[in-house]
Each structure stands twice: as C-alpha cells, then as structure tokens.
Amino acid sequence: MFSRAVRPALKAGSAVVARTAPPNAANFATLREIEGRLKSIKNIEKITNTMKIVASTRLTRAQKAMDESRVYGQTSNTVFEKAETKPIEDKKTLLVVASSDKGLCGGIHSGLSKATRRALAETPNADIVVLGEKAKAQIARSNANSIVLSFANVCKDIPTFADAQAIADQIALLPTDYASVKIIYNKFINAQSYEPASVEAYSEEAITQSANISAFEVGDEVLANLREYALANSLYWALAEGHACEISARRNAMENASKNAGEMINKFQILYNRQRQAAITGELVEIITGATASEEM
C-alpha cells in the first residue's frame, strides 16, 4: 500500500509513460503497410508486363505453326467427308482432350473441361485421354473413372508432327476398339477469342465401311496406316490450334493483369500521399502547439 502523498506522483508518472507513444504512431504504421503493398504491386506489374511481351513475341510463331497444321487436319477431314465415313454406333467413343500443363491463361482449360462434360453427357460410356495436367485435374473431379490415359509436359513449345505421332502411337495401343476418336480442342478465331471445338478421327472398320472409300483406291494393307496417320494429323492440328489459343489467352490475361495492377498502384499512391500528408500535418500541429506552450511558460 502506498501513502496518499505518493499516489499523485504515481499518477503523474503513469501519465508521462502514456504520452511517450506519439498520437500519429498508427499513421506511420499505415504508411509502412501501404508502401510495402505498393512495392509488391509494382513488382507484380513488372512480371505481368514481361509475360505479356514474351507471349506477344511467341504468338506470331504459334500462329504460323497453326496455319501449317491446318493443312494436315483439313486434308484428312476432306478425305473422310468425300468418302462419307461415319462412326460405328455399337462401339465406344474415345474423347481426346487437347489441353496443356501451363496456367495463367484465363479460362482456356475450364472451357475444354466443360466441353468434355457436355460430350460425356451425350455419350456417357466414352473413355477419355487427356493431354496436359490442367484439364486432367478438372475432369478428374467428376469423371476420374473415365480417364484411361493421360500425358504430361504437352505443348511446352510449339507442337510438332512428331509429338502428335508419338501420342497417336500410344492411343493406338489401348486395348479397346473404339468406333471413333473425337478430339476436343480450342479453336483459334482471332487474337482475342477462341472456342471449344472437336474433330473426328475414325477407326479402321469405319473407314472400311465408308460408302465412297473405293474412289480413293486404298489397299486393305494401307487402311491401318491411314487410320493412324489421320489420327496424328488431327492431333497435330488440335495441338497447334490449342497452343496458339493458349499463348493468345495468356497475353490477354497478362495485359488485363498489368492494367489492373496499374489501377491499384494509382489508388494506393493516392492513399499513401493522403496518409503521409496527414502525418506531416499532425506533426506540424504538435510542433506549433509545443512552441506556443513553451512561449506561454
């Protein structure tokens, strides 16, 4: 217990301790937080700008490869259209989803996954082959049992016919005899838009039963090779188109991200300036008040 004479001194001492923290300490903390956020957002803007420039540079090469691949795929389609080839209805269908392993390109992989689910709704007993880990992770959430084969590290660079041929060889080794192979891919419309599409690759039996296949004078021993070659052509086309769509979507996504980062930088810069001005004003008021109090004493 302290005596009554000591209590006023203790109160005065506690008041002095309470006044040691400046009243604008919260402003200083807020300024540091805003400055840290500004620095982080500026770093993000640099990264997104760099990625946009890289994607813009790669898009020209990707479009050139896409134009070259269309010759392969459209030629195969023309042959089957003139031969009036149709899938056999009493056998299963194989869905090949041409995705990739890379992200940061908008909803390009989600669109393929939705198109695959719509195709599965039409043919529930179809099997799935997934090219790329992005679409595989999305499709596996609802249709994991339908996936019979998957490929990783797809389309790390511009696809080649050799890549498509290697994938076609692995698909040909599957034990099930499929009526047709439907390749689901992103169709390139322009640099700003794309849409999911599909292309058919028929089985050897379906090609044999084509109404006008005799017009092409294809020997029986060549039909198996024709089927695998047509599948590789279609895969090459789908992979090249999907790669061009991915690069275009990444460029657009990074452009939008850079724009959003710039807007956030402006907002935080204004907020930082206001907080800094308020802190300086508070300090000036304290200095003036202290000087006035000293003169009065």
pLDDT in tens, the chain (297 residues): 444 443 443 344 433 333 344 554 444 447 888 888 899 999 999 999 999 999 999 998 999 989 888 887 888 778 887 787 887 777 788 999 999 888 888 888 899 999 999 999 888 889 999 998 888 989 998 888 889 999 988 767 888 888 899 999 999 888 888 888 899 999 998 888 889 999 888 877 777 777 777 766 666 667 767 888 888 888 999 999 999 999 999 999 999 999 999 999 999 898 888 888 888 888 888 888 877 877 776
Model-level pTM? 0.78
224 vs 201: CA distance, rounded Å: 12
pLDDT number for residue 43: 94
Q: Which domains are seen in the chain, by residue range?
A: 61-250 (3.40.1380.10)
pLDDT number for residue 13: 41
Tell me how far CA of residue 22 lies from CA of 30, 33, 276, 287, in angstroms: 14, 18, 15, 12
Mean pLDDT, the chain, as a whole number?
82
Residue-wise pLDDT for 153-201, tens only, equals: 876 788 888 889 999 999 988 888 888 889 999 999 888 888 999 988 8
pLDDT number for residue 3: 44
Contacts of 238 (CB under 8 A, 6+ apart): 73, 96, 98, 183, 184, 185, 199
Q: What is the 3-state secondary structure (H, E, C) of 126-160?
A: CEEEEECHHHHHHHHHHHHHHEEEEECCCCCCCCC
Contacts of 70 (CB under 8 A, 6+ apart): 237, 240, 241
The amino acid that residue 25 corresponds to is A
Pick from 51, 112, 94: nearest CA to 203: 94
Q: Is the dihedral of CA 76, 135, 167, 224 positive or negative?
A: negative
159 vs 127: CA distance, rounded Å: 24
258 vs 264: CA distance, rounded Å: 10
pLDDT number for residue 16: 37
pLDDT number for residue 257: 92
Tell me how far CA of residue 235 lies from CA of 48, 70, 74, 163, 260, in angstroms: 31, 11, 12, 9, 37
pLDDT number for residue 129: 94
How many Å from the N-terminal Cα to the C-terminal Cα in the chain? 36
